[in-house]
Amino acid sequence: MLIKLDVANYDTAKKMIDIQIPAYKVEAELIGYDGIPQLQDTVETMMQCREKFVGYLLGGELVAFISYEETEQEVEICRLVVHPYHFRKKIATILVEHIVETISQGRSIRVNTGALNFPAKGLYQMFGFRQVKDIEVAPGVFITELRRN
């Protein structure tokens, strides 16, 4: 079940951090880089975040979320986070589908992910995202920008 998350609420932000840190540790291993900014987040920095968040509940428990920012022309997916215990349950697919079908309302969508994060890139490509460019964020570490028009 999808729900809007109030990131300014301490308990919600704490639950989100408890999902985000293990999930980004997996990505850090995949791409060989532990400098992912989201690994530095705390409950307090999460509570100050201006992104919009949609969570996924499984059995009444928050297990995943997606965040985005939007303008009149574009939606940017900022985070797609699934707790590792819940990988391979199509939860990320449901969250991306929500952005594509409900939030974007015909606007283009942009997302960045680790260039070596092939599962994430495959997921986005399944929804019609195309790779635009690779950006070096640290020596030898690249992220891929993908877009869907």
Distance CA 100, CA 4 (A): 16
CA angle 142, 147, 149 (to 5 degrees): 170
φ, ψ of residue 30 in degrees (nearest 5) = -60, -40
Q: Using only the alpha carbons of the chain, give its radius of gyration.
A: 15
Distance CA 13, CA 62 (A): 11
Comparing C-alpha atoms, which of 116, 111, 112, 113 is closest to residue 31?
Answer: 116
**Amino acid identity of 52?**
K
SS3 of residue 92 by DSSP: helix
Fill in the DSSP letter of residue 103: I
φ, ψ of residue 73 in degrees (nearest 5) = -100, -25
Residue boundaries of the structural domains of the chain: 2-148
DSSP for 109-145, written as a single string: EEEEEETT-HHHHHHHHHTT-EEEEEEEEETTEEEEE
CATH architecture of the domain 2-148 equals 3-Layer(aba) Sandwich (3.40)
What mean pLDDT do residues 74-93 have?
Answer: 97
> Is residue 69 within a helix (H) or strand (E), and if so which, with residue range?
strand 61-70
Q: Which residue has the higher pLDDT, 138 or 109?
A: 109
Query: What local confidence, expressed as pLDDT, does residue 30 receive?
Result: 86
Query: What local confidence, expressed as pLDDT, does residue 40 receive?
Result: 94
pLDDT digits (tens, 9 = 90+) for 25-83: 999 998 888 899 999 999 999 999 999 999 999 999 999 999 999 999 999 999 999 99
